[in-house]
Amino acid sequence: MNWWNWMETTFGATMGAVLGFGLWLNRRKIRPAPDTGPSQLSEGVEWFVLTVHASLLIAVVFLPLRPVDALYDLGLMMGILPIVAVAGGRLWPYLLVLPVTLLPIAGKTVRNLVFNTGAINAQLGTYIYLVVPLVLAMALAIWFAEQAATGQTSRYFTG
């Protein structure tokens, strides 16, 4: 592991700890709105936004496309689409936490283990490290969204 990976890991762990501590300190102030109306986005729009965001995310991480890099490298657009989708959607809180977050991680794992080092067969490695985790994460996200529709609390999901 080179110094860059250590730096990213340390930064991620530190920021995660700081955010978690801040949430814990303010846990009494974080409550759902007393009257949450129906979601603003239709299910079709949610899936469309997921497709657009995932495509742009894949392009910025794995493909050297200047227009996409100019748009998504700044980070602002990478955050705006999910924020709008989470605020207005029923599925997006679960999709963002599970498959959308997993997508670049699984893709980088496949790139490093399968294509860069050749540690495993390309078809088997792609299936094991990309397809299976993404299918499981998507199924789990949909299951949690269905549970939420039947009255499951957000506390159960976050646990």
Q: Per residue in 23-52, pLDDT tens? A: 888 878 776 666 556 657 888 999 999 999
pTM of the model: 0.71
Q: Per residue in 86-143, pLDDT tens? A: 888 888 889 999 999 999 999 999 999 888 888 889 999 999 999 999 999 999 999 9
* Secondary structure (3-state) at 36: coil
